[in-house]
Amino acid sequence: MLFLFLFIIIVYTVIYFVILNTQERELRNLVSQEAGYIETLLGKNNQSDLRGIQNQEVIFAGVDQSFYYVINSNREVVMGSEANPRLRPELLSFVYKHMSNDQDVQNEVIRMDEKLRKGRGGFRAPDQNQDIHMMIASHGVYYKGQYIGQIYIGKDVSFAYRLFHWVLVILIVLGFVFVGVAVFISLRMSKRAMVPIKSAFKRQREFVGDASHELRTPLSVLLSSVDAMDMTIDTQKDEMASKLLANMREEVKRMTNLVSDLLTLARSDSNTIELKKEEFDLRPLAEKAIESLHPIAASKQIQLGLNSTDIFTVIGDPQRLSQLIYILLDNAIKYTPDGGEVKLNLLKEGREVRIMVQDTGIGIKKEDYHKIFERFYRTDKSRSRQIGGHGLGLSIAKWIVETHKGTIQVTSVLGKGSTFIVKLPDYD
């Protein structure tokens, strides 16, 4: 795209300067030749006054020549002719404005008013509404080294400016055509390139879903086996066996949770999960989530509270919204130091349902606000491993919120805590 843009500019610039320089060079040569002819004629007649040759034919007008004037040192027009006599006042104003004893080329524009459009002669713009672009060349006339006047020759170069206009239009049109073709080709190529990528992503998604599904059964068997061993072994006498069984149980539970999260995300990617939409009271589900997480909070002396109306009616999927609350509370408890506080607030503001989870935890950096909702992203990897996080909970929370056509945001202050705000539309 940049190369095409530069190409258009370069081509237009080259055409512009080549044509104008050619016209200027031709006009400069013409006025120089005519000035030399006048000086030769003055020398033959031994005359130092330009008026002495005004009755002689001096200028041989070319095809594109629009006017010529010979002006003496007193600024009097000695000789002159123009294709359109009505333009003489306009042309003389240009001539007097640039009158000097040096060779010079000027570009002027004649604004076509009603009076000038009615003029007769061959010197008219093809389009009566177009202005006339004039190129005027001058050259001093000398007699025995003394300056005695100036010759001016004008040429209509409107055709060149019209050519520039159409060249620019053609280049721009060609540019758009090439851009369109390039975009079309790139889209076709990108679609072809995306075929194997989509296929690989689909196979990977299917593999994650199938593997997660297949792993749930052996993990359930492992957990049942650990529970059975715990019942058959006297853990009070064998302290080592008790610790091993406890560690095994925790690891199996952690793996089960991870597999469950992976299966949920895999099903969400394939759109195989259908959400239920029903009207229900969210408060009992929130109380149940707090009750199930209370032992974990109590082990860290964290105060776990709920602020809500007695009946908090919403419309959505009870199972997924309950999972959302559990994820947000569990995440808050994990990253809140001992002796902290976690609060769940259920609010209705206008046409919105708000679920807010506030904690007094370690906080989140501002640049990590959007990253924490990415899969497997953890702001502090070493700390996350210690507390058992695997970076999928908030991804699932975001998916649940988005499937309910809501938004999830976070505000945080490092060292003071974070607040997760979920906004869902109220269909009442």
Mind listing the pLDDT tens digit for each residue in 364-422? 988 888 888 887 776 655 555 555 556 788 888 898 898 888 999 999 999 899 999 99
- The answer on pLDDT for 105 being more than 50 is yes
Give tens-digit pLDDT for 273-324. Answer: 667 888 999 999 999 999 988 988 999 999 999 998 888 989 898 988 998 9
72 phi and psi angles, rounded to 5 deg: -80, 180
The two beta strands, 341-349 and 303-307, are parallel
Would you list the DSSP string of 131-146? -EEEEEEEEEEEETTE
Give tens-digit pLDDT for 324-376. Answer: 999 899 999 999 999 999 999 999 887 889 999 999 999 998 888 888 888 77
Task: Note the pTM of the prediction, 2 decimals.
Answer: 0.50
* Amino acid type, 231: M
Contact between residue 389 and residue 361 where contact means Cβ atoms under 8 Å apart: no
pLDDT value of position 109: 84
Q: Look at 49-63, 167-181, 229-243, 276-290 and tell me which has the smallest mean pLDDT.
A: 49-63
pLDDT value of position 55: 58
Nearest-CA neighbor of 156 among 82, 71, 57? 82
Q: How far apart are CA 159 and CA 125, in angstroms?
A: 9
Task: Catalogue all structural domains in the chain, each as residue range(s) with its CATH number.
Answer: 2-156 (3.30.450.20), 195-269 (1.10.287), 278-425 (3.30.565.10)
Share of the chain above pLDDT 90, in %: 16
Q: Look at 102-111, 123-132, 217-226 and tell me which has the smallest mean pLDDT.
A: 123-132
User: Which residue pairs from 207-213 have beta carbons closer than 8 angstroms and sit at least 24 positions apart in sequence?
Assistant: 208/262, 208/265, 208/266, 209/263, 209/266, 209/267, 209/270, 211/262, 212/259, 212/260, 212/262, 212/263, 212/266, 213/263
302 phi and psi angles, rounded to 5 deg: -95, 130
Q: How far apart are CA 300 and CA 56, in angstroms?
A: 117
Q: How far apart are CA 135 and CA 407, in angstroms?
A: 67
Q: Is 226 exposed, middle or buried (0-12, 13-18, 19+ CB in 10 A)?
A: buried
- The answer on pLDDT for 129 being more than 60 is no
Give tens-digit pLDDT for 229-260. Answer: 777 776 566 677 777 777 777 777 777 777 77
pLDDT value of position 199: 67
